[in-house]
Structure 1
Amino acid sequence: MTRSHRLLILLAAVLLLVGCGTALVLHAVARADRPQPGGPSLAKGKVTLSQEGRLGFLNGARGPQHGAVVSVRSDAPDAQRTASDLNCQRFYAAAGTGVCLRSRPGALAQDNRALIVDAELGARRSFPLAGTPSRARVSPSGRLVAWTVFVSGESYGSAFFSTRTTILDTAGWRLESDLEKFTVLMDDKKYHAADVNFWGVTFAQDDDTFYATLSTGGQTHLVRGSLARRTVTTMKQNVECPSLSPDGTRIAYKKRVLPGASLWREHVLDLRTLREHPLAEKRSVDDQATWLDGDTLAYALPTQGTVGSTDLWTVPADGGGAPRLLTPGASSPAPLG
């Protein structure tokens, strides 16, 4: 066999392998675009953030609307989902203001964006993200927006990770780009450390007070912050991803119950007494829970047997009852209206 023949055979083999690889990729894409048999029913339609009696969230079911902001009737979460054209990795909304954190897999950080939308899901402003989307919240009035990204690392259970948390005032589009620039008060003294990280902001009704997680020295703390004073004050240790109740009296949060491991249990803290109680959900919840009302919390848990998918669950906030599946293939819940 001549050298030319060997080269022709080698070229043919390479082309065959490339063709097979391309076919496999196209087949996988086609499968991902097809609705999952037995999955939630979806229909394209108009989603607005002012729809009373509806729940918004991100659709996690396989198909062309994967990642879309959808809504369902709050009293019928398994009913047909109305799917918008807005796709996000993290989402939250309140009082007609929405925040959509977008991330392109494998893209540079400057391609990750925080999109602020109005009640009709129309874009108002867009801001670059310093890393991978993690948490998002909107104040009860719709005026303040917060988001957290991973600058390094991929989860709060990682040995090494760094976050950046931003708060935006939409009234004048003033951006507090990094909460680490705020003054930290710990035990009534100013605290400085190189390892300070913040995440999981939740807002009070006054559009000044907020709560968040502060991590430093291997410990996490619940902090109460003031935008006007640009300060945060530590309140209680071992509190992560706080979520303020509608009446402003309680904080739902995840508490690490197995040191050195990614095992958390959801708790509720009374802000007046600083007494806490565990919730009936005993599985490890790595999420910032959402208050559906004054009595019920919603959160995401990984879908059994499906990598990269989550389902929404609910549990009573008083510590009683039992966890209940709210809707499958979903994340980032937000009561609308």
Structure 2
Amino acid sequence: MNLRNRRLRLVLVVAAVLLLGGGSLGYVLHARERQAPAGQVQADASFTLATPGLYFREGDSGRVARRVAGQASAQTGGPSCDRFHAAGQHALCLRKLPGVPARTHAVVLDRNLREVRRVTVAGIPNRARVSASGNVLAWTTFATGDSYATSAFSTRTAVLDLRTGFLVKSIEGIPLTIDGVRHHSPDVNFWGVTFARDDNRFYATVSTKGRTHLVEGDLRKWSAKALRTNVECPSLSPDNTRIAFKKKVRDDPSKPWQLYVLDLATLREHALAETRSVDDQAAWLDDATLGYALPGQDGRRSDLWTTPADGTGAPRLSVPGASSPVAVR
């Protein structure tokens, strides 16, 4: 083969690789969010969790920022993440890795936002939660698909206990009881874990046989039981008495959900003032306020909204171009 043909062949190979890489990005990234920039997760040295405030992911930079009460502008310099959550002594940063098949780094950070552990898992970053103490963490990735609005998806949810170092890469094998009967099915999917203050009890969504269930789990006993149907992405209130969740109220796949709050003592629920379809695991910013992301007007990124948890009032735009809200105290 002469030099000219070799060069031509090399150009064609490079072009094919770039084309395939571009196509893969369309699959693995949400259209409204830019992927966290390649490179280190590490935050700026001056950016830590020592300052109380509202922390969130900036849609343009992909880095974590914070807004402190009384200050008009946000402070930047946090780690680069696709999903972020923090509580107690630790934070969790999910980052999509380049290439196919899709893979995610689940990175555990300390209060100074320095890396203390990293786990590589399959799939696209989706949900991240840290228990109030910071001792137990959970994350969900999309193994197949990138939306809960269709049936063509599969999730993987992991739980990491930092006290023991024990990691369960997929909790699908946990003994599950539905309607008082041990449930066995190959289509079980868990997602959206939220932890109680005791670092043992947790809540999550289970999808099986075409229905979604709110389940209550016990880490020590390694068991879970369904409490009720049509509950997705639960989020336990700081006082541990209520769960915010998204409920399917429409058959329209483009806007199926509405935010609700469930009283755990009575199992009574009420709708929130936010009537738009929210595909997010809402975050309790305090015992009276919920934060969540909605698509922005530009269609490329999300905006952060808040609404009262008691169903009164009206939604309020909190931070344009933001997602993954968490109140750090």
Provide TM-score, normalisation by structure 2.
0.84
For residues 226-264 of structure 1, give each alpha carbon's deviation from its aligned partner in whole angstroms, at most 9, with x where no partner exists. Answer: 011111100010000000001000000000001362410
One-letter code aligned to 1:178: S
Are 1:69 and 2:69 matched, yes or no? no
How many Å separate the matches in 2 of 1:189 and 1:259? 29
Shift of 1:80: 2.2
How many Å separate the matches in 2 of 1:126 and 1:280? 39
Q: Is the 8 A contact 2:97 2:105 kept in 1?
A: no
Structure 1 match to 2:58: 59
Shift of 1:311: 0.5
Structure 2 match to 1:84: 77
Structure 2 match to 1:227: 219
Are 1:312 and 2:304 matched, yes or no? yes
How many Å separate the matches in 1 of 2:138 and 2:319? 26
Structure 2 match to 1:4: none
Structure 1 match to 2:46: 46
How many Å separate the matches in 2 of 1:263 and 1:297? 19
How many Å separate the matches in 1 of 2:256 and 2:133? 33
Are 1:240 and 2:232 matched, yes or no? yes
Q: Is the 8 A contact 1:93 1:138 kept in 2?
A: yes
How many Å separate the matches in 1 of 2:178 and 2:233? 19
Q: How many residues align?
A: 293
Structure 1 match to 2:118: 126
One-letter code aligned to 1:58: R
**SS at 2:326's partner residue?**
strand
**SS at 1:311's partner residue?**
strand
Q: Of residues 314, 319, 323 in structure 2, which corresponds to 1:322?
A: 314
Shift of 1:107: 4.5
One-letter code aligned to 1:162: S
Structure 2 match to 1:93: 86
Q: Compare CA radii of gyration and give the structure with the larger one.
A: 1
Are 1:292 and 2:317 matched, yes or no? no
For residues 85-134 of structure 1, give each alpha carbon's deviation from its aligned partner in whole angstroms, at most 9, with x where no partner exists. Answer: 51000000001310000003444434x20000001110000001211010
How many Å separate the matches in 1 of 2:89 and 2:76? 17
% of aligned pairs identical?
49
How many Å separate the matches in 2 of 1:103 and 1:238? 29
Q: Which 4+ runs in 1 deviate beyond 4 A? A: none
Q: Which moved more, 1:80-89 or 1:323-332?
A: 80-89
**SS at 2:152's partner residue?**
coil
Shift of 1:45: 7.0
Q: Structure 2: where are the runs of 5+ without partners?
A: 23-33, 35-43
1:150-189 to structure 2, matched below 5 A, reads 150-189=142-181
Are 1:136 and 2:136 matched, yes or no? no
| Counterparts in 2 of 1:329 and 1:244: CA distance versus 1, 3 Å | same
Q: Is the 8 A contact 1:50 1:95 kept in 2?
A: no
Provide TM-score, normalisation by structure 1.
0.83
How many Å separate the matches in 1 of 2:99 and 2:146? 13
Shift of 1:142: 0.5
**SS at 1:298's partner residue?**
strand
Q: Of residues 184, 188, 205 in structure 2, which corresponds to 1:192?
A: 184
Are 1:276 and 2:275 matched, yes or no? no
C-alpha RMSD over aligned residues: 2.2
**SS at 1:137's partner residue?**
strand
Q: Is the 8 A contact 1:167 1:175 kept in 2?
A: yes
How many Å separate the matches in 2 of 1:106 and 1:322? 42
